[in-house]
Amino acid sequence: MLKGHHLLLALGLATCGVGFGQGLGETTADALALEAAGDAIALETPTADSLEKEARLTTQIKATTEPTQTEPIQLAQVTSVSELSDVQPGDWAYTALQRLVEEYGCLEGYPDRTYRGSRALTRYEFAAGLNACLDVVVQLIGSSSQLDEIRRLQAEFADELAAVRSDVDTLQVDVAELEANQFSTTTKLRGLLNAHLVVPFGEASLSADQPNGSPDATPTSSDSTVGGPEADATFEYRSILNFDTSFTGSDRLRLSFRTGDSTSTLANTENGLASSGGGGTGDSVQLDDVFYRFPIGDRISATVAANSMVTDDFVSSTIVPFDGSSVADAGGPEFYDLYNGGGSFGAGLNFNLSRNLILDLGYANDTGNVNEPDGGLFNNYSYIAQLNLLSDGIFSGAIAYINGDSSSSSPQYTVAGLLSLDFGPVIASGHYAYTPAEGGGDLDSYMGGFAFPNLFGIGNELGLYGGVSPAINRNPLLVEAYYQISVNEFFSLTPSFIYANSDGDNDDTENTYGAVRATFAF
């Protein structure tokens, strides 16, 4: 016996006969549908219910197969998708419709200015739309004469095109060879060399409380008393090699090695040269930065260090433009250099509170690898918190707080404010740091000046600043004027004039220096 789903199959065949009547003929389709339906009913056992179903089915088939007269649907050309009242910008196909209508002009709507995107497409409508779009394609391609011209040009320049293909193939081979033989797929080597020629124009006399009280004692710029005889001219250098490795593209593992001369230049200043050899003797190579910096989500970056990370190494910016450009170390805020740390473990976090507001936190330690009662992670340490406002406009600034364990004559803590006003051709900038000292006195410091970026050339900078460096019971003054000349991306030259007054208890505390720094970056 034919079951109910076969009845549905018969009805589907009838419907298909109507839909594709042009191919089968209406008589054939109707006959097939009626025959299939009749066979299905005939196989059923005659009952009152089956007779009633037969009557209903016959009525439905007649209604379905009855010839109808329909008017052809006329489509209306539109020039903007906004003319279609039932198409909204939020519709998933809105962009596609917009391009077909407004860029190619090959989509039409119904006379009532609707598109009826949810209605099924008839074969006739598909043919009309396809034909309209093909006409546009033909226009875009151009005439056969244009195609012939393109073919002619291809034939004329066949040799040149073949040469280009050969060059590309050669480049691909070279790139493959470089990739196969490169030092590392994740690590890049970057280098920096600074060389200084320094000439003192005067000679500051030795402080009365210089160690050993000897006028022949070697001046030490980091000592609380400075000054003394200096050579007629000195030359010293510093070189740094950085191995920067990235595993994800957004992280950095750095191993840095440094070598240079022992520094005693600018003896009448507190901290000497900004790019000094760092106290190494005999041109020895020493390990410098060792840290790994990585993002945590979209707004936080973290730093874990094993060596040479302290205070300002954790901050996003030191604000003042002289830091890094000046020849004397006083161009960078010197209050950062007063605290322990950097010899061992360090860790920091940078929070991007907004696009321009950043909170920096850092902790540094000197004895993290010393397993003694006075060693470990929680002795000989310092920590810093700095809130930065780094704007795209005129004003940028920061507030910093630094503290740590301290001894006699060392800083208790520091509260500092830094400010920069960028007017484009000129930047006015400076800082002030309040630092009380253990055992009395203070290590307050301040500095201010002007920088003129890109003066007479891209990458050049003229700077003029002056200020007081941190020192117990003294106010050592330093003023510097420098002009950094960027010769190219690898080499710069910076002549500088420096005035220093150590404010010691000796008779002559002043000296002036002429200096030239050459910087090679590779």
Residue 350 per-residue DSSP state: E
329 and 276 Cβ atoms separated by less than 8 Å:
yes
Residues in the chain: 522
325 and 282 Cβ atoms separated by less than 8 Å:
no
How many CB atoms are located within 10 Å of the residue 35 CB? 12
Distance between CA atoms of 497 and 477, rounded to whole angstroms? Answer: 14
Distance between CA atoms of 27 and 35, rounded to whole angstroms? Answer: 12
Distance between CA atoms of 216 and 511, rounded to whole angstroms? Answer: 18
Distance between CA atoms of 453 and 325, rounded to whole angstroms? Answer: 11
Buried b / exposed e along 468-503 (16+ C-beta atoms within 10 A):
bbbbbebebbbbbbbbbbbeeeeebebebbbbbbbb
Question: 3-class DSSP state for residue 149?
Answer: helix
Distance between CA atoms of 67 and 75, rounded to whole angstroms? Answer: 24
Q: Which one, of 341, 344, 343, 350, lies nearest residue 314 by Cα?
A: 350
Mean pLDDT by 10 residues, the chain (522 residues): 35 34 37 41 48 52 44 62 82 83 77 80 80 79 72 86 89 84 83 93 55 35 54 88 93 92 78 75 79 95 92 93 93 90 90 95 90 85 95 93 77 95 95 91 94 94 96 91 95 96 78 94 93
Token pair of 159, please? 């040799």
Buried b / exposed e along 202-235 (16+ C-beta atoms within 10 A):
eebbbbeebeeeeeeeebbbebebbbbebeeebe
Give the residue extent of every domain in the chain: 4-65, 76-141, 146-180, 188-521
50 and 58 Cβ atoms separated by less than 8 Å:
no
DSSP string computed for 256-317: EEEEEPPP--STTSSS-BTT--TT-STT-EEEEEEEEEEEETTTEEEEEEEES--GGGGSS-
pLDDT score for 223: 43
Give the DSSP H or E segment for 34: helix 26-42
494 and 514 Cβ atoms separated by less than 8 Å:
no
Strand bridging mode 461-468 / 76-77: unpaired
Class of domain 188-521: mainly beta
Token pair of 444, please? 């307050």
Cβ neighbors of 488 (< 8 A, separation 6 or more) are: none
Q: Where are the beta strands (DSSP E) in 69-156?
A: 76-77, 108-109
Question: 3-class DSSP state for residue 327?
Answer: coil
460 and 485 Cβ atoms separated by less than 8 Å:
yes
pLDDT score for 137: 77
pLDDT score for 119: 80
Q: Phi, psi (5° rounding) for residue 381?
A: -125, 170
Distance between CA atoms of 124 and 131, rounded to whole angstroms? Answer: 11
Q: Residue 491 pairs with which residues in a beta bridge?
A: 520
How many CB atoms are located within 10 Å of the residue 245 CB? 15
pLDDT score for 204: 62
Q: Which one, of 321, 341, 342, lies nearest residue 333 by Cα?
A: 321
